[in-house]
Structure 1
Amino acid sequence: MTTIIENFPGFLLVFIRITAFFVTLPFFSYRNIPNIHKIGFSFFLAWIMFFTLDLPTIEIDGHFFMLILKEALFGLLIGFSAYFIIAAVQIAGSFIDFQMGFAIANVIDPQTGVQSPLIGQFLYTFALLLMISINAHHLLLDGVFYSYQFVPIDQLYLPLGNENVVEFIVQSFNSMFLIAFQMSIPVVGSLFLVDIALGIVARTVPQLNIFVVGLPLKVGVSFIMLILVMGALFVLMQHLFETMTYTMRGLMELFGGIGNGTN
């Protein structure tokens, strides 16, 4: 009984970090997963990790409450770093929707509860299915477990003001938009050529109503191009998952004061 009471603060810190991870972590934080399941999964995962980690003895004092805040903030930031990387799929969809003329029609994403573009939600669903099929969600759980190698449980603060952290976050955002641009450029480039062709037709055949012909033509070309480049999109999605894991690891290294986050 005494051993359980002595180890309870350490277990509580592990539970807080994992729960904070699952608040923002992709696939595990979605609204269609009941909260009771998230809490229960976090509890049992924390219970397993508690007996596999070599945790120091922690006493409940003012230092302990600062560790609670640090663990919650660390879990939220690392989970969010993975979330905004995978959001590149929806950004690519918004680029495509804008050129197709679907930008005025959004749908409610059941995973997050916010409005998302039509093609973005279509591609995002495929990204989630691909993540499950190649077990990329296991890499997220590995990131949760191995985070203790980079940021120990008794580390009191996170170097949020470090210039390397800010630079790494900016580079991660840059990678996200670059991948989104690469995913959308085949369709967006094709629609740009369609716009040029419609402009030429509008000048050469004034009797033709371009506004009536142009919209269904652009929609048809968009779906044809999506079918043709779907294989390349899956390759880019796999690269996106790799970028997501590298971003999580790099941010953990910076928070733990290890390296410069470029590994």
Structure 2
Amino acid sequence: MIEVTFDQLHGWLVLFFWPFVRITSFMLAAPLLGHSSVPRQAKLGLAFLMTVALGPTLPDMPDTPLFSWASLGIIIEQMLIGIAMGIVLQVMFAVVQAAGEFIGLQMGLGFATFFAPDTGANTMILSRVLYMITLLLFLAFNGHLVVIEILASTFFTLPVGIGGFNPGAFELLVRFGSTIVVSGLLLALPLVGPLLIINLSLGILNRSAPQLTVFNVGFPMSLLTGLTLLMVLMSDIGRFMQRLFSDSLLFMRQFLEILAPLPPG
């Protein structure tokens, strides 16, 4: 008869529970796996499989009782690491959504919105199309495999029970949010620039010839020009996305390295 002592059972639970919390927190915060259309059972099942696969290769876990205040602190620590990684990916995908918002407003598609269940707000159609294209490109470039590799490496750079974080890393994460505006404008600039010139020209034409119905001419012209330029942009969007993915994943690695607490003294 096989007998399992409480210490053995506790050791097995500790070996898998805390990594499971970090992986689950990341999946809930990540834009791909954390999407509302993915069932919760699938998320928990995938997190459990990843934990079982990574568990034997992880460093030794802290000798802390699972049902204690110290264990609660470790759980919060693991949740912060997973959520921080998910926020980096959220910022990366928010770049194309912001670009879609900028382009849609200039094309006159501000009214073309629908309710997005994952965000809980109205989203422009063009913004959603660019988001889905970016999601497919991310999978085509094997970005999800790179993210899983980074997640597995965090257990060595940020072991369970590290005891604290570097506060400067969170400030760096907040500054990384500026990528949404900067990169979003860079992506939308080839369309926003010409469309802005067209709108300014139509505004001047309306002032010089008020009897001309500018709205009947301006909207079709802006829409047709925007669609034409969007076709040109789609032919070269892969290079921009590859650069965006590389910079974001490189920042994720650097952020996790900086997140480690500073040595005393």
TM-score by length of 2: 0.89
* 1:73 and 2:73 aligned: no
The C-alpha deviation readout for 1:229-257, integer Å capped at 9, x for no partner, is 11332221112211221222122112114
User: Partners of 1:165 and 1:59 in 2: how far apart?
Assistant: 27
The Cα of 1:4 is off from its aligned counterpart by: 4.0
The match for 1:54 is 59
The C-alpha deviation readout for 1:70-99, integer Å capped at 9, x for no partner, is 111221122112212221110011111111
The match for 2:259 is 255
Query: Unaligned regions of 5+ residues in structure 1, if any?
Result: none
* 1:20-35 pair list within 5 angstroms: 20-35=25-40
- Describe the SS at the equivalent of 2:178: helix
The answer as to whether partners of 2:23 and 2:47 remain within 8 angstroms in 1 is yes
The match for 1:118 is 125
- Describe the SS at the equivalent of 2:114: strand
The match for 2:221 is 217
TM-score by length of 1: 0.90
Report the residue type matching 1:219 in the other structure.
Answer: L
The match for 2:211 is 207
The match for 2:146 is 139
Report the residue type matching 2:23 in the other structure.
Answer: I
User: Partners of 1:165 and 1:39 in 2: how far apart?
Assistant: 27
- Describe the SS at the equivalent of 2:88: helix
The Cα of 1:110 is off from its aligned counterpart by: 4.7
User: Partners of 1:66 and 1:220 in 2: how far apart?
Assistant: 57
Of stretches 181-190 and 68-77 in structure 1, the one that deviates more from structure 2 is 68-77
- Describe the SS at the equivalent of 2:235: helix
Report the residue type matching 2:200 in the other structure.
Answer: I
The Cα of 1:175 is off from its aligned counterpart by: 2.6
The match for 1:154 is 161
The answer as to whether partners of 1:78 and 1:248 remain within 8 angstroms in 2 is yes
Query: Unaligned regions of 5+ residues in structure 2, if any?
Result: none
The Cα of 1:164 is off from its aligned counterpart by: 5.0
- Describe the SS at the equivalent of 1:79: helix
Q: How many residues were matched structurally?
A: 256
- Describe the SS at the equivalent of 2:78: helix
* 1:181 and 2:185 aligned: yes
The Cα of 1:113 is off from its aligned counterpart by: 4.2
The match for 1:18 is 23
The answer as to whether partners of 2:106 and 2:195 remain within 8 angstroms in 1 is yes
Report the residue type matching 1:107 in the other structure.
Answer: F
